[in-house]
Structure 1
Amino acid sequence: MNRKGAIIAGLLTLALAATGCGSSNSTSPGTSSGPLKLAFVQGVIGDAFYVTMQCGIQEEAAKVGATVSTNGPQKFDPALQTPVLQSVIASQPNAILIAPTDVSAMQQPVQQAVQQNIKVVLVDTTLKDPSIAASAIASDNLGGGKAAFDAIHQLAPNGGKVLVVSVQPGISTTDDRAKGFQDAVKANPSYQDLGVQYSNNDPQKAAQIVSAALQANPDIVGIFATNLFSAEGSATGIRQAGKQGAVKVVGFDAGPDQVKALQDGTVQALVAQQPALIGRDGVTQAVAALKGQPVTKSIGTGFTVLTQANLNSPEGQAAVYKTAC
């Protein structure tokens, strides 16, 4: 009987051990023990906007004891961002904060993360169907576009031709900025909208676009550049055409090159977002989702219009983007 009892006890022990291993393997990323693992997938590496957002993410993650890994494509391109995201998914973080590079093309890749029980928070850009994400945080881009037109209206009050230089169609943020600007132009008959041209996030191409536009329409009075690289290229194109001061430029974002252009007078105003705040809010919402706490499905953040007059103020300096954390 003792031998038989020992055999039975041994079998029970093996059964319990097997049950424990099975339970451990089925634990979802969002409920695993230890520090929370967060991953940030940027829209593009090297953009001061995303660097500043990364700083905000790291700052907030440190407060809650979470770890953060940051990855991103070399260009703002869904074909390049998709494999980056797939690699991040394979590392099984608890949550991913991502700036999708296209509203449609990134829908399925992000869905794959959700199917792996990874919480997703959209930061800056969004998807065609953002409901799959726990939360989405972005600037008021329509309002930012209108603010850009208001700035040009103040700089060139007599009206005239205006041009938008954007990135590429299908990016939610820049599409909204262009729309906000163009809607404001349409509401004012003193201005003529020359439409939107796309630089594919290439400053050199943006410079070429502006140079060609000024040759065809030397009476352009204002250009709205919807992101950092578009503004950088637009400033170069105007400088090459010798049109500094004659063509008023309002850029979106406040990276070092844009701030220098503002200081030099090539760009007359910048619409600065709050990327660090977007990052901090993203971490807050991701952690809440992981803990089963209430989340805010959509959060809008504001912006600061920078000019030479307010650039050196405390508010102005706080709005300038970082190049490193």
Structure 2
Amino acid sequence: MKLSKTFLVAGTLATAAALVAACGSGQVGESGSGDSGNSANSKKLALVPGTQAEPFYISMQCGAQDEAKKLGYELTTQAPQKFDAALQTTIVNSMGSNPPAALLITPTDDHAMLAPIQQVKNRGSKIVEVDTSLKDQSVAVSSISSNNNEGGKLAAQTMAKLAGDKPGSVLILDTIAGTSTTAARAKGFQDELKKHPNLKAAGIQFTQNEPDQAAAKVTAALASTPDLVGIFATNLNTGEGAATGLRNAGKIGKVNLVGFDASPSEIDGMKKGEYQALIAQDPAQIGTKGVDQAVAAIEGKPVQRQLNAELHAITKDDLDANAKYFYKQSC
């Protein structure tokens, strides 16, 4: 899941209008037709991921598109250029006069996205949360995500195996406060780390999901924490920034880096020794299950309120065996 700092509000309308197309072209953007007419919308689903052009969301869109086609529904996808509530709100608000039968959405802020999503629900759309969720659990009929708390625990267990008996501190790099998924990962990691007395948490640093800020945080941590033995990066951007910080300090391979997700750049980084482990999600499965729950809700069938997708710890030794979990850049 990818986040970023906010744009100027004045630019949001132009940004939404310029959304790029099609998972098939390698970017999460706009796909499908935009036919109007509420009676025709009974077979229309809308997917609004967290951001465009990110392998996690491309993989999620691919799974959703395939499942929608299989079930006889049409899926249209629009994504903001960055993981930003103002940009995502513009997209959601544009559905007001012509709402889909169901909206599958990755809320970019667990509070700020409540009002715009609620408005779409009030116009008759079923709401399904994919990847992230709102604090208010009364809005969505179903939420599908990885068990991010368990993912954080898995990351800590993996870090402990990498460190062995060596004592030292471990830095946690989070993204933006208020992001449900990465917050759960950080908490799960902290809780599990307490079970390994040779390792202690060096605190959580927020990076605003900017790789350069993550790199700067790592540089500062290396200077202030001489016994740093590990870094847990809660998503793609923090991981890439952490790798840059370690590279600049000549610490690649000397400080264990455990990242989240399995994007092409992260897999390449693992092959180069920049990452010692990755916690891979299954975004295609999240998309598939999201469509299944949306269609069930539309058709009046039983819906499951909470579903989890699988997580997998990958190291360089078992990289090839886990290739099926690598994220896509196009459908």
Map residues 85-164 of structure 1 onto 2, 5 A cutoff: 85-157=92-164, 158-164=166-172
* Corresponding residue for residue 302 of structure 1: 310
8 Å contact kept, 2:41–2:100: no
* Corresponding residue for residue 270 of structure 2: 262
Distance change (3 Å), C-alpha of 1:126 and 1:195 = same
Residues 15-67 of structure 1: per-residue CA shift (max 9 Å, x gap): xxxxxxxxxxxxxx998357611111011112111110000000101101211
* Corresponding residue for residue 218 of structure 2: 210
Distance 2:260 2:104 in 1: 22
- Counterpart pick for 2:299 among 291, 294, 298: 291
Distance 1:104 1:126 in 2: 9
State the 4+ residue runs in structure 1 displaced beyond 6 angstroms: none
Distance 1:260 1:90 in 2: 44
- The CA deviation at 1:90 is 3.8
- Counterpart pick for 2:91 among 75, 84, 88: 84
Map residues 224-235 of structure 1 onto 2, 5 A cutoff: 224-235=232-243
8 Å contact kept, 1:223–1:249: yes
Provide the secondary structure at the position in 2 that maps to 1:138.
strand
Which letter maps to 2:324?
A
Residues 88-146 of structure 1: per-residue CA shift (max 9 Å, x gap): 34442111100001111111111111111111100010111122111100101111001
Provide the secondary structure at the position in 1 that maps to 2:138.
helix
Distance 2:192 2:93 in 1: 40
Provide the secondary structure at the position in 2 that maps to 1:249.
strand
Q: Which moved further from structure 2: 61-70 or 277-286?
A: 61-70
Distance 2:111 2:69 in 1: 33
8 Å contact kept, 2:37–2:98: no
Distance 1:53 1:112 in 2: 24
Provide the secondary structure at the position in 1 that maps to 2:319.
coil
* Corresponding residue for residue 4 of structure 1: none
Residues 60-87 of structure 1: per-residue CA shift (max 9 Å, x gap): 0110121111111122121221112112
* TM-score normalised by length of structure 1: 0.87
Distance 1:108 1:173 in 2: 20
Provide the secondary structure at the position in 1 that maps to 2:187.
helix
* Corresponding residue for residue 172 of structure 1: 180
Map residues 12-23 of structure 1 onto 2, 5 A cutoff: none
* Corresponding residue for residue 18 of structure 2: none
Residues 150-186 of structure 1: per-residue CA shift (max 9 Å, x gap): 1111111223100111111111110000000011122
2:324 aligned with 1:324: no
Residues 214-247 of structure 1: per-residue CA shift (max 9 Å, x gap): 1222321000000111111111111111101110
- Counterpart pick for 1:49 among 35, 44, 56: 56
8 Å contact kept, 1:311–1:317: yes
**Unmatched 5+ stretches in structure 2:** 1-35
Distance change (3 Å), C-alpha of 1:323 and 1:37 = same
8 Å contact kept, 2:160–2:196: no
Which letter maps to 1:237?
G
Distance 2:121 2:61 in 1: 22
Which letter maps to 1:42?
P
Percent identical residues: 47
Distance change (3 Å), C-alpha of 1:260 and 1:30 = same
8 Å contact kept, 1:31–1:290: no
Provide the secondary structure at the position in 1 that maps to 2:80.
coil
Distance 2:295 2:62 in 1: 17
Provide the secondary structure at the position in 2 that maps to 1:221.
strand
Provide the secondary structure at the position in 1 that maps to 2:209.
coil
Distance 2:257 2:122 in 1: 44
Distance change (3 Å), C-alpha of 1:30 and 1:125 = farther
Provide the secondary structure at the position in 2 that maps to 1:222.
strand
Distance 1:250 1:122 in 2: 27
* Corresponding residue for residue 222 of structure 1: 230
- Counterpart pick for 2:39 among 29, 32, 36: 32
Instruction: Give the RMSD, CA atoms, in angstroms.
Output: 1.6
Provide the secondary structure at the position in 1 that maps to 2:242.
helix
Which letter maps to 1:100?
P
8 Å contact kept, 2:41–2:101: no
* TM-score normalised by length of structure 2: 0.86
**How many pairs align?**
295
2:284 aligned with 1:276: yes
Which letter maps to 1:123?
V
8 Å contact kept, 1:123–1:138: yes
Provide the secondary structure at the position in 1 that maps to 2:197.
coil
